[in-house]
Each structure stands twice: as C-alpha cells, then as structure tokens.
Amino acid sequence: MLVAPSIPAAAAPGLHRRDLLRAAGVTGLLTGLAGCAPGRAENPAAGAPGGASVAGNPIDLVIENVALPVDGRVGSAVAMNRMVPGPVIRLREGEDAVLRVTNRLEETSSIHWHGLILPPGVDGVPGVRFAGIRPSETFVYRFPVRQSGTYWCHSHSGGQELLGLYAPLIIDPAGPEPFRYTGDHVVMLSDWSFEPPEQLLAHMKSLPSYYNYQQRTVGEFFRDARRDGLGATVSNRLDWGRMRMDPTEPRRVRRRLIGLSHAARSRFSWAA
C-alpha cells in the first residue's frame, strides 16, 4: 500500500489520486506495478498500447509529446512509449542490452541510463562522443549489462526530464535473487509543474528551497520516515533476507521505490 505525505496509514485505502496530490501540496505523479502485469495504477497518460513493461532484445522506445492530464489541467509532456513515467524497462545481467530509441520530438533528445556501468559513449549524456538523438532519428544503445537491481533512466536534453521523460529500469540478476518473493512492485514518485522547465530551473538555482513549501530538512525527513514506518519497512526487508521463507506464507512482495521529484520533497511511508 502506498501512503502519500501527511496521510495517516489508516486513511489510505480509500484515497484517490487527487487527495494524494492535495495532501502532498505538490502535483505528483505516481506509477505502481504489480508483478509484470500492466497494473499501472496512476499513469496519467494511460491508454497507451503496448503495456507498461518492456523487456527482451531489442527494446523499442519512442519519445514524443503527449497531452498529460494532471489534477484537472492538461500539460504538454514528453513521454516514452506514450507514458509518463515511461514503461518499466527490464534488462538482465550478463546479457547485451539493445535499446532502439526513436525521437519524434522537434528537438534533440537523449536517454541517460542512470547508475549503470557503461562503456564510454553510450551512457546517453550528449557530449563529445554522442551528439544526442536528432528529430526523426532512431539511436541504438548497445551495452553489456554488468549489474542488477533497481535503476531509472531519463533525458539529458533541455527540460525534457522535467517534462516527463524518465522511466524505471529494473535489471534482473544473472543468478537467483538473494531473497524470494511472489510479487514485484515498482513505484516511481515524481512531480509535475505547469511552469516551464527553464523557469523552474532558474528558480531552483536562485533559491534551492524555492519549491520546498514546508521548509523541511533532510534530517526531519528521515526522522519522520522512521516514525511513520519507512525505517521499519526497510529493517523488515533486511530481516526478510536473513529469514528462511515460511512455506505457508501466502505472499511476499518486493517493493522497489524510485524517487525523482524535481521541485518537491515528500514524506513517504509504507503500511503493510
């Protein structure tokens, strides 16, 4: 169960997206997936064909503008496969990833594979070795996958990341996972602003706390998270790794949380 900022866990089951956003004091985007099924609960750009998860070799990704309804208004977003956030991209350690990225924007784009160990020139950051993906061009990223775990990817061009161009990136290990579970949930937390990205960035550069309405500190965040259960959940998860799984246990779920809010800080807690 996902509990948004400032909402008691007990109130969560009946919450609607709008309540979550209002409670957060920001405009947020959430995506949640149950297993590999297209269970995207909170995808504002839903309705896109192709499901919410992409895997295999090659993987095709298309970057284009979409209309994004957020909290009663409609924004102009940059989507991956018509979704914001983009689909869950699943790779496997030990294999070669081949990702064909088509740019349908009228400006240069790029996808940076955040946190991945990559050969020079394919990390997706436009620069000396890589000029970016030009309009109408399909760029093929090829790289050996040398790690496993939970990552994400995002545009490294202009304000495209702020406009929605990011996606979860999950790498399954070559060998067995060190723990067992029957469900795998991916939750990506982000935010949306109707302010143009350039203006957002200018505000944040001039005053880093510009969008931090509640003026909370990182210390407070962690103290709250501990009090509200995030810490308990983390330690729970660590315990799972050490425990032998009870064969009568009905369901053990892995939750992966990716937070990338640009202009907001959120309190977040899990409730079992």
Contacting positions for Cu ion (CB under 5 A): 112, 114
Distance between CA atoms of residues 114 and 106, nearest Å:
24
Q: What letter represents residue 201's amino acid?
A: L
Token pair listed for 21: 């956003």
Strand segments, DSSP code E, in 27-165 are 28-34, 53-55, 59-70, 73-80, 88-92, 96-103, 112-114, 138-144, 149-154
Token pair listed for 48: 């896109």
Distance between CA atoms of residues 149 and 171, nearest Å:
5
Residue nearest to Cu ion (CB): 114
The distance of closest approach from Cβ of residue 100 to Cu ion in the complex, given in angstroms and rounded to an integer, is: 20
| C-beta closer to Cu ion: residue 132 or 229 | 132
Provide the terminal-to-terminal Cα distance of the chain, rounded to the nearest Å. Answer: 7
The distance of closest approach from Cβ of residue 27 to Cu ion in the complex, given in angstroms and rounded to an integer, is: 22
Token pair listed for 187: 């939750």
The distance of closest approach from Cβ of residue 85 to Cu ion in the complex, given in angstroms and rounded to an integer, is: 14
The distance of closest approach from Cβ of residue 125 to Cu ion in the complex, given in angstroms and rounded to an integer, is: 8
| C-beta closer to Cu ion: residue 82 or 112 | 112
The distance of closest approach from Cβ of residue 180 to Cu ion in the complex, given in angstroms and rounded to an integer, is: 31
| C-beta closer to Cu ion: residue 114 or 256 | 114
| C-beta closer to Cu ion: residue 161 or 224 | 161
| C-beta closer to Cu ion: residue 151 or 270 | 151
The distance of closest approach from Cβ of residue 87 to Cu ion in the complex, given in angstroms and rounded to an integer, is: 18
Nearest C-alpha neighbor of 31 from the set 22, 23, 20: 20
3-state secondary structure of 204: helix
Nearest C-alpha neighbor of 118 from the set 98, 144, 86: 144
| C-beta closer to Cu ion: residue 114 or 185 | 114
Residues in the chain: 272
Which residues, listed in sequence order, are joined to residue 69 by a DSSP beta bridge?
Answer: 74
| C-beta closer to Cu ion: residue 147 or 217 | 147
The distance of closest approach from Cβ of residue 116 to Cu ion in the complex, given in angstroms and rounded to an integer, is: 10
CB 31 within 8 A of CB 186: yes
